[in-house]
């Protein structure tokens, strides 16, 4: 999609309706949803992705139906509907259970990625054996989720205090990483660096602002860690100039906290905490004291 992506998706939808092609119509609405997401219009993005489910009774391809679930998850998450995203990920996992090893890897990976957004590292840790098995079964199929899923289990192990296991999982992920994937890998590695308090690594790994708006998957956690990282290592101008995706929803408390920490504004920090708690992002909320400590020692 290019700068005319919305117009093109509308044109595709009109053509699909004229032809009576339900599959094409579904993909046209998906394209519209992705275009809105890239522009930061999260509510509109979710509307178009959710609308695809109106067509589900006329679809028979399990791959297409599973794709509908995968596409709605990030837009649901972006609007703060983490429970909805979790339900969709669970449904998707069941849908792909009898498909290919690659599909099954995506099944567990989507669940991991929702819990990554939620900061539910205990659940990710519990899924580590299944993740390792899925990655092993899919090892010969190139997929960024092979390495990225292992990185998420490495973060979980570090959060839960098992640094040795975390290093092992990180190394295993490194063996599977491809090149030129930008924030797909640097973002979880940056989160791992922040959890470890390694500010030198964090600064090197922090996703570049220019790398956003290329996809829907992986951009929310990347935007969150960029805001958290800037709060610890950068100045106010850096945060205020950020145009990461859209305002509101999932990312709003991360923005408020970053500004609050940099400005040393307790009111903003308190507002961020209320926003985190309202979205049930309790682990993320609990990171504020540690971030303040790192900021002071930076």
What is the rounded distance in angstroms from the CA atom of residue 83 to the CA atom of residue 88?
9
The pLDDT of 273-283, averaged and rounded, is 97
What is the rounded distance in angstroms from the CA atom of residue 280 to the CA atom of residue 294?
24
pLDDT in tens, 214-249: 567 899 999 999 999 999 998 777 777 666 555 679
pLDDT in tens, 139-176: 999 999 999 999 999 999 999 999 999 999 999 999 99
Residue 175, pLDDT score: 92
pLDDT in tens, 67-76: 999 999 999 9
Residue 153, pLDDT score: 98
Residue 1, pLDDT score: 45
Whether the predicted pLDDT of 138 surpasses 80: yes
Residue 216, pLDDT score: 78
Whether the predicted pLDDT of 184 surpasses 70: yes
Task: Look at 200 and 179; give whichever has higher pLDDT.
Answer: 200
Output the DSSP codes for the chain.
--TTHHHHHHHHHHHHHHHT-HHHHHHHHHHHHHHHHHTT-HHHHHHHHHHGGGGGGG---HHHHHHHHHHHHHHHHHTT-HHHHHHHHHHHHHHTTTS-HHHHHHHHHHHHHHHHHHT-HHHHHHTHHHHHHHHHHTTTS--HHHHHHHHHHHHHHHHTT-HHHHHHHHHHHHTT--SS-THHHHHHHHHHHHHHT-HHHHHHHSPPGGG-SS-STTHHHHHHHHHHHHHHHS-HHHHHT---S-SSGGGHHHHHHHHHHHHT-HHHHHHHHHHHHHTT-HHHHHTHHHHHHHHHH-
Give yes or no for a contact between 75 and 40, defined as CB atoms under 8 angstroms apart.
Answer: no
Give yes or no for a contact between 167 and 142, defined as CB atoms under 8 angstroms apart.
Answer: no
Residue 241, pLDDT score: 66
The pLDDT of 246-273, averaged and rounded, is 91
Whether the predicted pLDDT of 56 surpasses 80: yes
User: Residue 293: pLDDT band by 50, 70, 90 thresholds?
Assistant: very high
The pTM assigned to this predicted structure is 0.92
User: Residue 191: pLDDT band by 50, 70, 90 thresholds?
Assistant: very high
Residue 252, pLDDT score: 93
pLDDT in tens, 26-35: 999 999 999 8
The pLDDT of 120-146, averaged and rounded, is 96
What is the overall mean pLDDT for the chain?
91
């Amino acid at each position: 999609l290019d700068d005319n992506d919305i117009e093109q998706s509308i044109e595709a939808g009109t053509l699909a309706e004229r032809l009576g092609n339900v599959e094409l119509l579904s993909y046209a609405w998906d394209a519209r949803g992705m275009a809105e997401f890239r522009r930061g219009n999260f509510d509109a993005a979710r509307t178009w992705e959710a609308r695809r489910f109106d067509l589900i009774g006329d679809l028979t391809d399990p791959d297409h139906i599973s794709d509908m679930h995968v596409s709605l998850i990030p837009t649901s998450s972006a609007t703060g509907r983490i429970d909805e995203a979790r339900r969709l990920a669970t449904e998707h996992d069941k849908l792909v259970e009898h498909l290919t090893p690659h599909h099954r890897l995506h099944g567990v990976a989507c669940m991991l990625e929702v819990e990554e957004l939620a900061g539910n590292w205990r659940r990710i840790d519990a899924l580590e054996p299944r993740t390792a098995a899925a990655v092993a079964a899919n090892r010969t199929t190139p997929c960024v989720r092979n390495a990225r899923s292992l990185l998420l289990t490495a973060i979980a192990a570090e959060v839960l205090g098992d640094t040795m296991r975390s290093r092992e999982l990180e190394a295993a992920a490194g063996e599977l990483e491809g090149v030129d994937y930008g924030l797909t890998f640097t973002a979880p590695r940056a989160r791992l660096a922040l959890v470890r308090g390694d500010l030198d690594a964090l600064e090197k790994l922090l996703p570049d602002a220019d790398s956003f708006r290329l996809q829907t998957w992986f951009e929310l956690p990347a935007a969150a860690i960029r805001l958290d990282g800037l709060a610890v290592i950068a100045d106010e101008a850096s945060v205020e100039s950020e145009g990461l995706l859209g305002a509101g929803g999932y990312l709003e408390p991360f923005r408020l906290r970053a500004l609050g920490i940099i400005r040393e504004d307790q009111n903003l920090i308190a507002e961020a905490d209320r926003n985190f708690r309202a979205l049930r992002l309790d682990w993320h909320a609990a990171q504020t004291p540690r971030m303040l400590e790192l900021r002071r020692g930076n």
